Structure 1
Amino acid sequence: MIALLLRDLRLATRAGGGFGLGLGFFLILCALIPFGTGPDTDVLASIAPGILWVGALLACLLSLDRIFALDFEDGSLDLIATSPIPLECAVIAKAAAHWLTSGLPLIVAAPLFGVLLQMPAAANGWLVLSLLIGTPALSLLGAFGAALTVGLRRGGLLLSLLVLPLYVPTLIFGAEATRRGAAGMDASTPLVFLAAITLLTVALIPFAAAAAIRINLR
């Protein structure tokens, strides 16, 4: 399982592996929003939590099709499915690799991008905490969508359509936690719901994704 994780990390960090693509998209989005809304700092500060969470969500989408598609094309997925490692553990390893190369860089860079949106400094800690709790669920749900569409030609659009509705609860509670933190309010309730969603995906998604992979490999 660790070997599979390290393999995916090496593939993601090589040229053309997609590492940094989501981070670049996140930066471009945060840089363009002020041009669309105008220079009003109050408006930017009020929408910053939602924009940052939407940006993180969309940035995660960019590399979801790489989770299983490349392994399916070169036959590695068949070897993984027949290896002694349970397929559920392989799903967790590949989702973890996606989070480490896509979600974690976004978490580190989010406070810096918040400056572009005039987000209050008091919200930085809540933003990082909410992303740290919520983004693993995005990678796991993305792995489930990638498992459903593996083997389909041009399945990237279908993958986005399948995954985006599943992302909505995480987006709602993540943005609400950041907004409450920026306003000096108690953000514990949305954070608890966010953690519950993540724990639920950790408990259920590996089994659902493994079953989808087995069906597509038949």
Structure 2
Amino acid sequence: MNAFFATVRRDLLLALRRKSEVLTAVFFFVIVTSLFPLGIGPEPVLLKKIAPGILWVAALLATLLGLPRLFAADHVDGTLEQMALSPSPLGMLVAGKILAHWLLCGLPLVLLAPVLGLQFDLDASALGILTLALLLGTPLLSLIGAIGAALTLGVRGGGVLLALLVLPLYIPALIFGAGAVEAHVAGLDAGGHLSLLAAMLALAVFFAPWATTAALRIALE
């Protein structure tokens, strides 16, 4: 666990030296979600209807922006090879990098979502469901995205290939995450959608680091 927390701390410190890369995803999320109310106009019923899908798609794309850099810098300077040769399990180190990616790219979106949701005339309870859904869904996006980032590591045009690989896998999270808020706004129970998101997150926490580690070992050969 010491290696796990050391990896998280290292990636967070490196990100603080490259603040522009972190802020790019946050500003993208803010700008995209803010443009829709301006373009559609002040129609509360329509804004409330489209809010869950817009906020979730924007969060999905903002998370995707940081994925190509998840392993690329460590691969170029040889750090990734040293991690593979270290006595600490590579899977634990990979899990630390995924957690750092979520703290940098996912958690800010979760914290900003309730504020941005006010533009769409969502009430407090709907904002709470939105925040909870993103809190369950954004780690899932980082875990799935890490597999795609490892598979496309070192490949020419890897960013485009990464999007093609990852976006179809993001669809279930998008459906159930946005569906939870839509169900709540319609007066239905959102518990089923949130339970499915939590189940997918639990599976991803178990399988994604292992799959990512296997893909990285293939990339390093």
Report the TM range for the smaller structure's normalisation: over 0.9
Structure with bigger helix share is 2
**How far 1:153 sits from its partner (Å)?**
2.7
CA distance in 1, matches of 2:60, 2:94: 20
Indicate the larger mover: 184-193 or 29-38.
29-38
Matched, 1:63 2:63: no
For the aligned residues, what is the CA RMSD? Answer: 1.2
What's the counterpart of residue 27 of structure 2?
A: 24
In structure 2, what is the Cα distance between the partners aligned to 1:62 and 1:54? 13
SS in 1 for 2:22: coil
In structure 1, the residue matched to 2:96 is 93
- Deviation per CA, 1:137-173, whole angstroms, max 9, x where unpaired? 1001111010001111331111111100010001100
Does residue 217 (structure 1) correspond to residue 210 (structure 2)? The answer is no
CA-CA distance at 1:182 after TM superposition: 2.5
1:107 to 107, 110, 113: 110
TM-score by length of 2: 0.95
Q: SS state of the match for residue 68, structure 1?
A: helix
Q: Secondary structure at the match of 1:20?
A: helix
Q: Which amino acid aligns with 2:141?
A: L
The separation in 2 between residues aligned to 1:204 and 1:103, in whole angstroms, is: 20
Q: Which runs of 5+ in 1 are unaligned?
A: none
1:183 to 182, 186, 190: 186
The match for 1:117 is: 120
Task: Report the number of matched residues.
Answer: 218
**2:82 aligned to 79, 90, 96, which one?**
79
What residue in structure 2 maps to residue 141 of structure 1? 144
Matches within 5 A, 1:31-70: 31-70=34-73
TM-score computed with the length of structure 1 as normaliser: 0.96
Q: Aligned partners of 2:122, 2:26: CA distance in 1, in Å? A: 19
Q: Could you tell me the percent identity over the aligned residues?
A: 52
Question: Runs in 1 of length 4+ with deviation above 3 angstroms?
Answer: none
For residues 128-207 of structure 1, the aligned pairs below 5 Å read 128-207=131-210
Choose the corresponding residue for 2:18, options 12, 15, 30. Answer: 15
Q: Distance in 2 between matches of 1:116 and 1:153?
A: 40
Contact 1:31–1:116 (Cα < 8 Å) also in 2: yes
**What amino acid maps onto 1:151 in structure 2?**
G
Moved more, 123-132 or 8-17: 8-17
**Native 8 Å contact 1:26 1:55 kept in 2:** yes
For residues 123 and 220 of structure 2, the distance between their equivalents in structure 1, rounded to whole angstroms, comes to 49
Rounded Cα–Cα distance in structure 2 between residues aligned with 1:215 and 1:17: 31
